[in-house]
Amino acid sequence: MEIFWFLPTHGDSRYLGTSHGGRAVTHHYLKQIAQAADQLGFKGVLIPTGRSCEDSWVVASSLINFTEKLKFLVAIRPGIISPTVSARMAATLDRISDGRLLINVVSGGDPDEQHGDGNFLSHGERYAEADEFLKVWRGVAAGEAVNFEGQYIKVKNAKTMYPPVQKPYPPLFFGGSSEAAVELAAQQIDVYLTWGEPLEAVAEKIAVVRERAKAYGREIKFGIRLHVIVRETSEQAWQAADELISHVTDETIASAQKAFSRFDSEGQRRMSALHGGRRDQLEVAPNLWAGVGLVRGGAGTALVGSPEEVAERIKEYAALGIEYFIFSGYPHLEESYRVAELLFPLLPIELQSGTSAVKPNLTGPFGEMVANDIVPPPSAGKLQAVK
- Establish whether the linkage from the previous residue to 365 is cis, with ω within 30° of 0: yes
Q: Tens of pLDDT along 154-192?
A: 999 999 999 999 999 999 999 988 899 999 999 999 999
Burial class (CB within 10 angstroms; exposed 0-12, middle 13-18, buried 19+) of 102: buried
Q: Give the whole-angstrom CA distance, residue 278 versus residue 55.
A: 33
Go through the domains of the chain in sequence order and give each one's CATH number: 2-356 (3.20.20.30)
Tell which residue, 329, 303, 327, has the closest CA to residue 5.
Answer: 327
Whether the per-residue pLDDT at 380 is higher than 70: the answer is no
Cβ contact 306:230 at 8 Å: yes
Q: Give the whole-angstrom CA distance, residue 14 versus residue 169.
A: 38
Which amino acid is residue 311, in one-letter code?
A: A
pTM, two decimals, is 0.90
Q: Give the whole-angstrom CA distance, residue 315 versus residue 274.
A: 22
pLDDT band at 277, cuts 50/70/90? confident
Q: Tens of pLDDT along 16-68?
A: 988 888 999 999 999 999 999 999 999 999 999 888 889 999 999 999 999 99
- Residue 340 has a pLDDT of 97
Element containing residue 174 per DSSP (H, E): strand 172-175
- DSSP letter (8 states) at residue 354: T
Whether the per-residue pLDDT at 356 is higher than 70: the answer is no
Q: Tens of pLDDT along 319-351?
A: 999 999 999 999 999 999 999 999 999 999 987
pLDDT band at 379, cuts 50/70/90? low
Q: Tens of pLDDT along 192-219?
A: 999 899 999 999 999 999 999 999 999 9
Query: What's the start-to-end Cα distance of the chain, in Å?
Result: 41
243-270: average pLDDT = 85
61-80: average pLDDT = 95
Residues in the chain: 387
Element containing residue 6 per DSSP (H, E): strand 2-6
pLDDT band at 361, cuts 50/70/90? very low
- Residue 278 has a pLDDT of 86
- Establish whether the linkage from the previous residue to 331 is cis, with ω within 30° of 0: yes
Q: Give the whole-angstrom CA distance, residue 64 versus residue 7.
A: 13
φ/ψ of residue 87, rounded to 5: -65, -40
- Residue 297 has a pLDDT of 81
Helix (H, G, I), strand (E, B) or coil at 109: coil
- Residue 69 has a pLDDT of 96
Q: Tens of pLDDT along 83-133?
A: 999 999 999 999 999 999 999 999 876 777 778 777 777 878 988 999 999
Question: Which residues lie closer than 8 Å to 21 by C-beta, 6 or more apart?
Answer: 13, 14, 15, 247
- DSSP letter (8 states) at residue 216: T
Cβ contact 117:80 at 8 Å: yes
